[in-house]
């Protein structure tokens, strides 16, 4: 499967909405020069670009039953300063890893980890987001 790219501008209003939704009282998220909450980049799935459509196409391509998938894990690795209001980032999503595990009942669970690489205007890698989805075995 190919990658997908998108562009995002970090907006103060979006940071405030995210901080409220996550019930954060951190004052650093409330000023016009706010830094982003460390998990803020996950909103790219819903706000910027083709991530949801790309992910659904990937799951179909690798044979995941959409009625049996669950969010398993989210990981962030920052390679530079945490983004701030006004920063412009380009995201690129790709399949990072596909693997299987056996659960305690001897059933196979399949996992897909998707990497989103966030780069700044100078193409420097700012952060990686790794989203792992598990496909439960059929009942």
Element (H, E) at 126: strand 125-135
Total domains in the fold of the chain: 1
Q: Structural domain of residue 38, as residue ranges?
A: 4-135
Domain containing residue 70: CATH number: 3.10.129.10
Contact 37, 20 (CB under 8 A): no
Q: How far apart are CA 128 and CA 78, in angstroms?
A: 6
pLDDT tens string, the chain, 139 residues long: the values are 688 888 989 888 888 888 888 888 888 888 888 888 888 888 876 665 567 788 888 899 999 999 999 999 999 999 999 898 899 999 999 999 999 999 999 999 999 999 999 999 999 999 999 999 999 998 8
Enter the tokens of residue 49. 């670009």
């Amino acid at each position: 499967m190919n990658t997908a790219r998108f562009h995002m501008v970090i907006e103060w209003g979006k940071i405030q909405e995210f901080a409220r939704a996550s019930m954060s009282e951190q004052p650093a998220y409330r000023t016009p020069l706010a830094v982003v909450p460390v998990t803020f980049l996950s909103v790219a799935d819903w706000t910027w670009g083709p991530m949801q459509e790309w992910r659904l196409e990937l799951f179909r391509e690798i044979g995941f039953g959409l009625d049996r998938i669950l969010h398993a894990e989210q990981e962030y690795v920052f390679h530079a300063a945490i983004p701030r209001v006004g920063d412009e980032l380009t995201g690129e999503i790709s399949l990072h890893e596909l693997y299987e595990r056996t659960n305690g009942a001897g059933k196979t669970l399949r996992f897909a980890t998707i990497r989103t690489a966030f780069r700044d205007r100078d193409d420097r890698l700012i952060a990686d987001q790794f989203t792992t989805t598990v496909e439960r075995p059929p009942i």
